Structures are given as C-alpha cells and as structure tokens.
Amino acid sequence: MNHSIVSSCPVCSGPMAVRSLHCPNCDTSLNGRFAPCKFCKLGSEQREFVEVFLASRGNIKEVERLLGISYPTVRSRLDAVIESMGYRVERDEDNRRRSVLEALNKGEISSEEAVKLLKAKG
C-alpha cells in the first residue's frame, strides 16, 4: 500500500525531509538528503485542485463547474498553489502600482499625482 508523502511534520508543522529511497523491483535503497519536488510540497487539497486544473487544461470555467466554486475562488486557489511552489504572485495592487509608476516615468502624470494614486487604496 502506498501513502502520500507527508510534507509537514505532524508534531511541529516544520517541513519534512526525504532521507531514504527504495526500489521495490531490485531491492536497492539509497539513504541521504533528497529534495522533494515542488508538487510534493502542496497539501492534499492543493494537489486535488492542480489535478482538476490540469485535467481541464487550465479552463477556469471548467474548474469552476467541476469544483463548484466561483472565479475569484479559482484564482485565489491558483495563486496559493503558485506561492506554495515558491513563486511570486503579482496581485492587482502590484499591477496598479506598476501602472502608476509607468505613467510617472512617461511624464503622463506629475509626481504629486503619483503619490496621491499610490497612497489611494484600490
């Protein structure tokens, strides 16, 4: 019987390390420190989401339908998976700030306008 790899310690919640690999075909074993793949770091709910996302070829409408969740929830779960795998996720706020700074750089707005826009929420 095969079990899923546990990615975090059930006692302290720290990351678990793979220390041994075994080949059931020839009975070879390897001991050492092995880095788990990025997908192995995902929780079971995130792995299920990734499986549905991939099976539906990234079609968000299909993911919504299959999981019975809304578009914002799909995006939120996708962002969480991406972050869990160690990648940075650009949020709408990041995009808004970049647009303001680009407009300032092009001379389309003054520095005072840029400051006001950057301080404004949403």
Q: What single-letter amino acid sits at 96?
A: R
DSSP 59: -
Instruction: Find out whether 89 and 99 touch, Cβ atoms under 8 Å.
Output: no
Q: Where are the domains of the chain?
A: 40-84, 91-122
d(CA 61, CA 85): 23
What's this model's pTM, rounded to 2 decimal places? 0.60
Angle at 75 between CA 79 and CA 102, to 5 degrees: 75
Phi-psi region of 69 (alpha: psi -120 to 50; beta: other; left: phi over 0): beta
Write out residues in the chain with pLDDT < 70, as ranges: 1, 121-122
pLDDT tens digits for range 38-51: 888 788 899 999 99
